[in-house]
């Protein structure tokens, strides 16, 4: 990772669209820690990762590929970021299948799974990671449209993708869902987003119980403040400048610091874990 990993502040910046664009961020997020040695933890596995073009999803895709997995990355319309991810994985000798579309559309979710199975030869790991958030200072100004949109992307898409993937996931399969520290402590200006993340925790625990007899493990990761395109796309420049400084570690995390959680949960190293949540959040103690 770069020297910026230990920084407590970022230059003021914001983006006027969601999803955000990683290539426009300053500094760029660290998607890979080259000091970590791969050991083939996911050799021969096939993974589908939503939001895999940038941020945490990109870091997970790169980490999975380094560990021997073939990966399909789903993204909305950030074609430049997706191409960067694909190129980096393929330059390292891996295989990456980019799939553009809206995960809030159940028909697209079905197609994404079918193309993954067809082109990679199967599916062993599903990472439900893509999300959106919209900061709103006044609760009474949160529109019904915004609530529906946030739940559609963050929660309903997990149902769509999981239903489409389950016929292809056999014993030893793994599902990893991205929650958030906001599910445990709330957030005063991201109320609908925090509510979706709480739902994801309950979804993860319940689905784990439902699938345990099939030998499919379901776990989650609840990151704290991580430097991803969602940050400048969600907050104003002043907020971005202070992002992560309120954690015990006094800084935001990098995607490369979160990706090992997903590798662990998707691998046999976590064979006795299901229904659990990991917390890479800079030291905040939460009731996990």
> pLDDT by residue (tens digit) across 94-127?
999 999 999 999 999 999 999 999 999 999 999 9
> Helix, strand, or coil here: 225?
coil
Taking only the tens place, the pLDDT of each residue in 126-160 is 999 999 999 999 999 999 999 999 999 999 999 99
Whether pLDDT at 17 is above 90: no
Residue 193 annotated in active site: yes
CB atoms closer than 10 angstroms to residue 57: 30
Taking only the tens place, the pLDDT of each residue in 205-233 is 999 999 999 999 999 999 999 999 889 88
CA distance linking residue 252 with residue 223, whole number of Å: 10
Counting Cβ atoms within 10 Å, is residue 7 exposed (0-12), middle (13-18) or buried (19+)?
A: middle
Residues 1/33, Cβ–Cβ less than 8 Å: yes
What share of the chain has pLDDT > 90, as a percent? 88
Predicted structure pTM score: 0.95
Whether pLDDT at 4 is above 90: no
Residues 6 or more apart whose CB falls under 8 angstroms from that of 269 comprise 41
Residues 6 or more apart whose CB falls under 8 angstroms from that of 129 comprise 49, 50, 51, 52, 56, 57, 60, 176, 177, 178
Taking only the tens place, the pLDDT of each residue in 188-199 is 999 999 999 999
Counting Cβ atoms within 10 Å, is residue 221 exposed (0-12), middle (13-18) or buried (19+)?
A: buried
Average pLDDT, the chain: 95
| Identified catalytic residue from 75, 193, 262, 272 | 193
User: What domains can be seen in the chain, in order of their start residue?
Assistant: 39-224+259-276 (3.40.50.720)
Whether pLDDT at 12 is above 60: yes
Q: What is the DSSP letter of 127?
A: E
Q: What does the block give as tokens for 260?
A: 């090992």
């Amino acid at each position: 990772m770069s020297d910026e990993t230990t920084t407590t502040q970022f230059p003021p910046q914001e983006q006027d669209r969601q999803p955000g664009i990683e290539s426009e961020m300053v500094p760029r997020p660290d998607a890979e820690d080259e000091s970590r040695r791969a050991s083939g933890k996911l050799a021969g596995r096939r993974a589908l990762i939503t939001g895999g073009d940038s941020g945490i999803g990109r870091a997970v895709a790169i980490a999975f590929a380094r560990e021997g997995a073939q990966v399909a990355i789903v993204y909305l319309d950030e074609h430049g970021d997706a191409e960067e991810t694909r190129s980096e994985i393929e330059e390292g000798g891996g295989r990456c299948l980019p799939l553009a579309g809206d995960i809030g559309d159940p028909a697209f979710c079905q197609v994404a799974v079918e193309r993954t199975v067809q082109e990679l030869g199967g599916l062993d790991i599903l990472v439900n990671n893509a999300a959106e958030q919209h900061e709103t200072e006044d609760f009474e100004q949160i529109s019904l449209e915004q609530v529906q949109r946030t739940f559609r992307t963050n929660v309903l898409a997990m149902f769509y993708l999981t239903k489409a993937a389950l016929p292809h996931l056999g014993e030893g399969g793994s599902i990893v869902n991205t929650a958030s520290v906001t599910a445990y402590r709330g957030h005063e200006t991201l109320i609908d987003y925090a509510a979706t993340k709480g739902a994801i925790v309950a979804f993860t625990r319940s689905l784990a119980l439902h699938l345990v007899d099939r030998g499919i493990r379901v776990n989650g990761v609840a990151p704290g403040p991580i430097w991803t395109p969602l940050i400048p796309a969600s907050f104003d420049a002043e907020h971005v400048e202070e992002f992560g400084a309120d954690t015990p570690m006094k800084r935001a995390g990098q995607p490369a610091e979160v990706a090992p959680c997903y590798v662990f949960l998707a691998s046999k190293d976590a064979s006795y874990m299901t229904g659990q949540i990991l917390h890479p959040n800079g030291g905040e103690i939460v009731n996990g």
